[in-house]
Structure 1
Amino acid sequence: MTEPNSAPTTPRTRLWAIVGATGTGKSDLALDLAETLRDRGNPAEIVNADAMQLYRGMDIGTAKVPEAERRGIRHHLFDVRAVDEEAAVAWYQPLARAAIADVQARGGDAILVGGSGLYVSSVVYDFAFPPRDAATRERLERELESLGIDVLLDRLRSLDPATAARVDPRNGRRVIRALEVLEQGSATHGAALPERPELWRADTRIVGVHLDRADLVERLDARVERMWQAGLLAEVEALRAHGLESGTTAQRAIGYAQALAQLDGRLTRAEAIAETQALTRRYARRQVSWFKRYPELSWHDAPIRARDLLES
């Protein structure tokens, strides 16, 4: 019996993270979980953790759930960037955490879903990013243009060999960011999962969706074929008119880079599809390796019933 003048008990909300390789059914599970929670009186909502689904117009190639198929469930951080804008994880983290806090303040569970490992880690773990310095970045960008990336890479190797080994040597933006951080006095770049990660929120449950490798490869190869059949080339052609090739992030997305090459005549349709399939399979392996490092993660074989998650 509630004592007089005591405040009513508010059910504790939870942060769910649905992770795993691309093509394993994470989006469907997130929708099922949100719907099941809502049937039980919990106004759950979904928060995106796929770096490429942040972009407006990148729909077919990212397997984004169309608005008409979102079952009336509110989705956060989808279609929030133009393709000519950068989508950095340091920019994403505070927005995702604010969306989660907003959902939970309204009494609902927040369901973070996506396969971009660094983006997921930045939200669920105590994960801090060094500050930015516009003047330093501008100077380093001028040096990159005048001296070339090899000079900046050599400088990074001499200052921070561990970070230099992690950074893509072809990615000038990443090399510049690492040097920018070092010039501000930080000992390391910082954009990596900590050795002993601690959860940002104690109410977090991380669910990994697992699919047998042979089945996953078959599913991924078929999905790439369907993307071309569904009009990926036309989607990329339209995005090109909106600045796709001037963006630092979107143009390198798997499938989009290959579609651009096909439009330019550098790849045939068959070559573009085959290259996208190979890169997608490789990306799926990297995703599984990344998420295996999460000590709190529990793997579940697909397909997964949302009811079973809630009862386990």
Structure 2
Amino acid sequence: MAHPPLIVVAGPTASGKSQLGVELAERLDGEVINADSMQLYRGMDIGTAKITAEEARGIRHHLLDVLEVTEEATASAYQRQARDVVADIRARGKTPIMVGGSGLYIRAAVDIIEFPPTDPDVRRQLEDRLQVEGPQALRAQLRAADPESAAVVQDDRRLIRALEVVTITGRPFTTFMPPHQYEPSVEPVVQLGLRVNREVLHQRIEDRVATMRRRGLLDEVRQLAAQGLRHGKTAQHAIGYQQFLRVLDGAISEDQAAEQTVTATRKFARRQETWFRADGRIHWLGAPAEDLTDRAEEAIRAATG
């Protein structure tokens, strides 16, 4: 008997992916696999809009709350974990449904991707140079060695990673991202993408941040700071958390943090849309809509014959 397809529900933040994932799982006897890199962290619940027990409606969810905030999340580790979970769900005759907006993590799970090596000593040297020389010097080095990566790298963490790869391998970081090609062991795969009108999405993001604030995001950040959030290489950079850490420092007000979180989330949503639009295998669905789950199920049937 053929494997049940791996269903991927992707799209920008606040587009309704979690709800669709649960509804598809109910219809297809499925289980959900988290594909949001920040929802891997224990305690990062409010600021990541992590699904609640009530919202999950009894559907089993995997790869939530598997890291401490001081640990580093990596796509290569996620690749191994997610593929193991997909195999386990299928072995029990159920349908795996991957839900999230972390594009690289989704590709890591479903595509043939070779992840470049790491070297703590090289990374430490680059981090020291960043502190002494500033990012412009390192960006100039990356432009000379890997102009394609330099054009898209937007933060210091990715700048360090791109230079680390060039230093270790002598190859541009971009050469490790192959064309879109599914890993045979995870096929068949059906990818669904949620497309939301820009104005509607902006309002949904604003409403979501307001809800996070009412639910106690500042208190959550305070608790996580006590657990070492500031020392987490990945977690401390999460949108919302980095802004509300500045509230704890007295640098900005809670109102300012909320406003900055909305702005940063909107920019992030645009980057997510750009990433997913580049993948021609995704079946796009307009959202939100009352018949969204029906149309998603139709797309799955059409793709799987």
- TM-score, normalised to structure 2, is 0.88
Which of 255, 262, 273 does residue 240 from structure 2 map onto? 255
Please show how residues 132-171 of structure 1 align to structure 2 within 5 Å.
Answer: 132-145=118-131, 147-168=133-154, 170-171=155-156
CA distance in 2, matches of 1:221, 1:191: 37
Q: Number of paired residues?
A: 295
Listed as ranges, the gaps of 5+ residues in structure 1 are 1-9, 39-43
Cα deviation digits, residues 12-68 of structure 1 (max 9, x gap): 311111011111110011111111112xxxxx2111110110111011111101234
Change (3 A) 1:130 1:75: same
Deviating above 6 A after TM superposition, structure 1's stretches of 4 or more consecutive aligned residues are: none
3-state DSSP of counterpart to 2:98: strand
Which of 88, 104, 121 does residue 102 from structure 1 map onto? 88
Which of 178, 182, 189 does residue 199 from structure 1 map onto? 182
Aligned to 1:57: 43
Which of 283, 298, 303 does residue 268 from structure 2 map onto? 283
Contact 1:207/1:299 (<8 A) preserved: yes
* Offset at residue 264 of structure 1 (A): 2.0
Q: If you compute each CA radius of gyration, which structure gives the higher value, 1 or 2?
A: 1
Please show how residues 171-190 of structure 1 align to structure 2 within 5 Å.
Answer: 171=156, 173-190=157-174
Aligned to 1:78: 64
CA distance in 1, matches of 2:176, 2:203: 31
Contact 1:125/1:198 (<8 A) preserved: yes
The code of the aligned residue for 2:3 comes to R
Aligned to 1:37: 28
Please show how residues 198-277 of structure 1 align to structure 2 within 5 Å.
Answer: 198-200=181-183, 201-277=186-262
Contact 1:137/1:180 (<8 A) preserved: yes
Listed as ranges, the gaps of 5+ residues in structure 2 are none
3-state DSSP of counterpart to 2:243: helix
Contact 1:121/1:193 (<8 A) preserved: no
Cα deviation digits, residues 125-165 of structure 1 (max 9, x gap): 22211122334334444444555444433333332222233
Contact 1:129/1:191 (<8 A) preserved: no
Contact 1:130/1:190 (<8 A) preserved: no
Contact 2:145/2:172 (<8 A) preserved: no
* Offset at residue 308 of structure 1 (A): 4.0
Contact 2:19/2:55 (<8 A) preserved: no
CA distance in 2, matches of 1:12, 1:90: 24
Change (3 A) 1:148 1:219: closer
CA distance in 2, matches of 1:136, 1:213: 41
After the TM superposition, which of the residue ranges 276-285 and 14-23 deviates more from structure 2?
276-285
Cα deviation digits, residues 206-257 of structure 1 (max 9, x gap): 0011222222221111111111011101111101100111112211211111
The code of the aligned residue for 1:286 comes to R
Which of 24, 31, 34 does residue 15 from structure 2 map onto? 24
After the TM superposition, which of the residue ranges 116-125 and 288-297 deviates more from structure 2?
116-125
CA distance in 1, matches of 2:229, 2:163: 26
Aligned to 2:293: 305
CA distance in 2, matches of 1:83, 1:19: 24
Contact 2:191/2:283 (<8 A) preserved: yes
Contact 2:114/2:176 (<8 A) preserved: no
Change (3 A) 1:125 1:141: same
Change (3 A) 1:97 1:16: same
CA distance in 1, matches of 2:34, 2:274: 21
